[in-house]
Structure 1
């Protein structure tokens, strides 16, 4: 997320503010909704949304314009919650297209471990090896262990001058939004789509798969409204969790289904506490080699990339449209100032409609 905020022009203080408000927002949402509904509702920042910001670096270097796009994306999520028909429309986005776009967004970031291994091998290769070994022996610990090792390596190698002048105390910084139509189209619409398709819809589906009735309306309206407010402090979109939702709603949380709501409440408290260290985390991460940070993020997102590619290519009849969406999105192109994620969706949709169109049979 910090890499994504920096990619669209956030300075260190603004990034720390964004990290703090996102942690607090997702924590409060999880605590309140889980306590009220007794459903284990987990919230998180939009991981594919953060990857989108990295992929759209160059669209704008004015954080005020990016914040305006965050506000618009959050407002669209509120609209979906208030207008069920729009939610049904989003859920009808062809699965191959939405997953291919998500894969195209994640792909450049998942290449970072390869690039890091070539450019900073002394730092990157040990992290990759730890991840690889634990991916075989203890998959659940592979990513956390690689993050810890990267932190240790950075603590040993990074110049401690980053502490000088850094604001390590928790603080919020107001960012006045500046609306630019091109930036809104390039960032807000793809951010809205990947948040809905990659987080909110799967998050609700995961709750349903464990036998819960997800409070979709409350979750969308609440997360969208608080995300819009949080955007003014530099925060990106908050949404229903997907991967961690499976942890809080599954048997790992509690054998008794009626008590699993305690897990996201505890997680929400932890989110708020971690948010208090946002200033320290931001100063440390931004002083570190960006490529190593991106490499660790890429390792963490490999599972999401595999899932998106698998889902995109599942139906043989839709694979051509899906690969077209993936290639356009992953290319990083910008046309008339609009980023590749939007064009990937458009191109994939056109190809899909064309291939599915049935030509009238010729007369005998």
Structure 2
């Protein structure tokens, strides 16, 4: 079978990594690499002699042999470039976030469905082997009923000026939370502050409430003494921690919990359980390679990606609601009413 031809748009921060990984997937041929910046194109062109480097996105759209477009340009351009590619009957991969407005993300999902095109969102951590194992552990019931989850995504830098910590860092954690729990929140709250004199928040704390009573909390910041990339899942039977910064044992399962006595009376206390800590075997596979291989598989087999357009839409909805809460000083924002209004055509 001949290789499927794709084009990469955006050669800034993450685009070169996608270009590298896509070029190593045997089922794919990177036919185009597109960026408006001459220097960025020149810097990479010599490493990919089989790829045409161009500053004209329309070239990709006009090429009937090009089957797919990978959008890794700045976030404000994601929705427009993805829309144009779908209208040109291309399959599309969009780096996170899928869009900056839920209405744009919804349009992309609908357009992909109407045109029978693959639409995939670049939620990289959903392809991390440790996250895959954690998802399997949750679905197998090993942790019991999930009570709540919380995430930390912290560092000292890189400091942004055009987007706040919520939009810059939280998409990773929101994709993880909604993927692991298999649902999107019905209500969110967020508070944050700009401590470095800019107009965007350097630190944000967000809380998400789900219809079944589950809670999630996220803490994102580029002004912190620790570099952390961690999610903790607390269940009725066991607890789990995925620590992406750990050298070994990125996933740990804690046989810890608390159980209420069957018959409660005055003076009775919860029974606390302290058991073993297990580090399941997790393959040392590069998540980006797995993500790109999955995209190629979806193109070839015409199947729905794990992180499809709906996955991207869930994250954008949550981001948008969290931003509304942040702007309103931490007021609760309901997503449930918004979803019901959209479903009823309101």
Do both share a fold (TM > 0.5)? no
TM-score, normalised with respect to structure 2: 0.28
Whose radius of gyration is greater, 1 or 2?
A: 2
> Of Structure 1 and Structure 2, which has the larger fraction of its residues in helix?
1
Say which structure, 1 or 2, has more relative contact order (CA 8 Å, 6+ apart): 1
